Amino acid sequence: MRSFAYCTADDVSQAVTKHGADDRVAYVAGGTTLLDLVKLDVMRPAQLVDINRLPLDEVETLDDGRLRIGATVTNTDLAHHPEVKAHYPLLSQALLAGASTQLRNMATTAGNVMQRTRCPYYRDASAACNRREPGSGCDAMHGINRMHAVLGVSDQCIATHPSDMCIAMAAIGATLTLEGPDGKREIAFNDFHRLPGDQPEKEHELRPGELITHITLDTPIEGAGAYYLKLRDRASYEFALASAGAIVAVEDGVIREARLALGGVATKPWRSHEAELALHDQPAAVSTFEMAAEAAMQDAVPHEYNAFKIPLARQAIVRALREACRDAENANQQR
Binding interface with ligand SF4 (CB under 6 A): 117, 119, 121-122, 129-131, 138-140, 157-159, 200
Angle at which helices 286-297 and 309-334 pack, to 10 degrees?
A: 140
DSSP 4-21: -EEEE-SSHHHHHHHHTT
- Name the region of 12 (left: φ>0; alpha: ψ -120 to 50; beta: rest): alpha
Q: Give whichever of 142 and 185 is closer to ligand SF4, judged by the CB atom.
A: 142
Q: How far apart are the first and last CA of the chain?
A: 58
| Residue 325 CB coordination number (10 Å) | 26
Least distance to ligand SF4, CB of residue 160, Å: 9
Q: Which amino acid is at 264?
A: G
Of 145, 93, 101, 99, the residue nearest 303 (C-alpha): 145
CA distances from 76 to 124, 248, 278 (A): 29, 25, 35
Least distance to ligand SF4, CB of residue 263, Å: 16
- Name the region of 111 (left: φ>0; alpha: ψ -120 to 50; beta: rest): alpha
Least distance to ligand SF4, CB of residue 121, Å: 3
Least distance to ligand SF4, CB of residue 282, Å: 36
166, 113 Cβ separation under 8 angstroms: yes
Q: Give whichever of 36 and 329 is closer to ligand SF4, judged by the CB atom.
A: 36
User: Strand ranges (DSSP E) for 58-156?
Assistant: 59-61, 67-70
Least distance to ligand SF4, CB of residue 242, Å: 17
Least distance to ligand SF4, CB of residue 199, Å: 11
